[in-house]
Amino acid sequence: MYNVVGKVGLPSSCVGGYKALRSMSSETLSGRFSVSDDTLLAVAREEQIEEAALRQRVTAGVIVILGEAGGAVKPLGLGAGLRVKVNANLGTSPDFADLDREIAKLEAALAVGADTVMDLSTGGDLDAIRKVLRQRCSVPLGTVPIYQAAAEAEDRYGDFGKIPVSLLLDVIERHAADGVDFMTLHCGITRASVEYVRRDGRLCGIVSRGGALLAHWMRMNDAENPLYEHYEEVLGICRRYGVAVSLGDALRPGATADASDAAQIHETMVLGELVLRAREAGVQVFVEGPGHMPMDQIAANVRLMKRLCHEAPFYVLGPLVTDVAPGYDHIVGAIGGAMCALAGADYLCYVTPAEHIGLPDVDDVVQGVIASRIAAHAADLARGLPRAADWDAQMSRARVSRDWEAQAELAIDPGTLRRRRGERQPRDPKVCTMCGRFCSMKLFLDDEQQ
């Protein structure tokens, strides 16, 4: 088995996944999840890895595939040995429920290269918004059904804690039937893990909306998390519609001081159990992770999360490596995301400059996607992905030859480079306004070519 791993260039950070893979019998190694051969082939080509290796990893659950070949959504792989992916969160809020604005944000996110999009709408006609976004979204789309269940419960019963289980399952099925590719489901927050939040006097309590809603529900109903209690039914829906589960981290730390505490780790251990049950049920599954976290804890967290969650693909929200920079959290998240991905995370949820301030606008979406794409690509480069190094080398060659149009074409955001060059042009178009005739690359190259 390790020879196979070696051939396809699996980074050392993913080796753990192979323990899971090796422990499977040959019987379970085929047809576990409903991923077609065409889809596998499309992803193998896109990622430039061998189809057999991809199939093994999908079967082992260390890679998840979203979307279907030949459908409206181009299939996308997440996980061990693949390019790190970036998600953009969209969606209305109770204060701003403007579908046109959300469509503009969707188009902006796709234009700057978001690999997936999530609709987190909480305001307006949620069914209608989701259907429109689904129709216009050419990449895998995720949702968080608990938001809609809470909003409908509030409308019907006057309290968003009064969500009947039947309503929760109904909303999940509605999302699935609309063709969403994955759903965030906060199945791992339990009464026991919330107790740790209280015991330790967490600075920021619960900062996940889904988590806070479920904690509220558990308190009001004096009962266990319905998404945990009814997990088999949830999996049944996901299996029927081919939806992947993104296990939400309801107890992710919302302050660097709260990182890696007992509540977080307890929930992670429950998520590990839920990963195994999803795989058993033939449902593809990946796991969401923190949150706010000082840099020195990142590598340990990624390894622990992946280990406890049986090497399922790891989808990180941030992490934000400091709490003090509202307005610049896309930069804070890029630092944390890059380090997480270097340590083995597979999928970065963007953070926008609007984080901790308000609902993002179109420019926030653009800035968030680009910052996360930089983090993801920096990790691809450091993890040894050959195409990543090629891209950087091409840019470096364009730079040393001072071919500005080639640089723009290769830039992660061509428009910004062209616009800025246009605003203030150098006297000598072969150099830039920083160094002018003192251009070091020109000077060294001219000397060498004499």
Query: Of residues 210-239, which lie at the interface with its own copies (CB under 8 A)?
Result: 211-213, 215-216, 219
With CB under 8 A as the contact rule, which of the stretches 18-26, 69-77, 283-291, 441-449 interacts with its own copies? 441-449
Q: Are strands 63-66 and 76-79 parallel, antiparallel or unpaired?
A: antiparallel
Instruction: Work out whether 356 is an interface residue with its own copies (CB under 8 A).
Output: yes
Specify the residue, 200 or 296, whose C-beta has the smaller distance to its own copies: 296
Minimum separation from the CB atom of position 174 to its own copies (A): 19
Instruction: Please provide the DSSP assignment of 260-279 as one string.
Output: T-HHHHHHHHHHHHHHHHHH
Instruction: Work out whether 204 is an interface residue with its own copies (CB under 8 A).
Output: yes
CA distance 141 to 181: 5
Query: 116: alpha, beta or left, given left = phi > 0 and alpha = psi -120 to 50?
Result: beta
Q: In 192-230, which positions are buried (b, 16+ CB within 10 angstroms) versus exposed (e)?
A: ebbebbeeeebeebbbbbbbbbbbbbbeeeeebbbbbeb
Query: Of residues 361-380, which lie at the interface with its own copies (CB under 8 A)?
Result: 370-371, 374-375, 377-379
Instruction: Work out whether 427 is an interface residue with its own copies (CB under 8 A).
Output: yes
Q: Which two three-digit tokens encode residue 282?
A: 């033939």
Instruction: Work out whether 15 is an interface residue with its own copies (CB under 8 A).
Output: no
Could you give the C-alpha distances from 15 to 44, 128, 146, 198, in angstroms and in order? 19, 43, 35, 36
Instruction: Work out whether 437 is an interface residue with its own copies (CB under 8 A).
Output: yes
Name which position in 90, 109, 176, 331 contacts its own copies (CB under 8 A).
Answer: 331
Query: Of residues 240-299, which lie at the interface with its own copies (CB under 8 A)?
Result: 254-258, 294-297
Instruction: Work out whether 193 is an interface residue with its own copies (CB under 8 A).
Output: no
Name which position in 39, 59, 122, 190 contacts its own copies (CB under 8 A).
Answer: 122
Specify the residue, 131 or 437, whose C-beta has the smaller distance to its own copies: 437
Instruction: Work out whether 383 is an interface residue with its own copies (CB under 8 A).
Output: yes
Query: Of residues 293-322, which lie at the interface with its own copies (CB under 8 A)?
Result: 294-297, 321-322
Q: Is the peptide bond before 291 cis (omega within 30 degrees of 0)?
A: yes
Specify the residue, 134 or 202, whose C-beta has the smaller distance to its own copies: 202
Could you give the angle at which helices 262-280 and 231-241 cross, rounded to 10 degrees?
Answer: 50
Minimum separation from the CB atom of position 416 to its own copies (A): 4
Phi, psi of 76 (to 5 degrees): -135, 135
Minimum separation from the CB atom of position 38 to its own copies (A): 32
Instruction: Work out whether 349 is an interface residue with its own copies (CB under 8 A).
Output: no
The candidate with the shortest Cα–Cα distance to 431, out of 423, 440, 444, is 440
The candidate with the shortest Cα–Cα distance to 114, out of 354, 288, 367, is 367
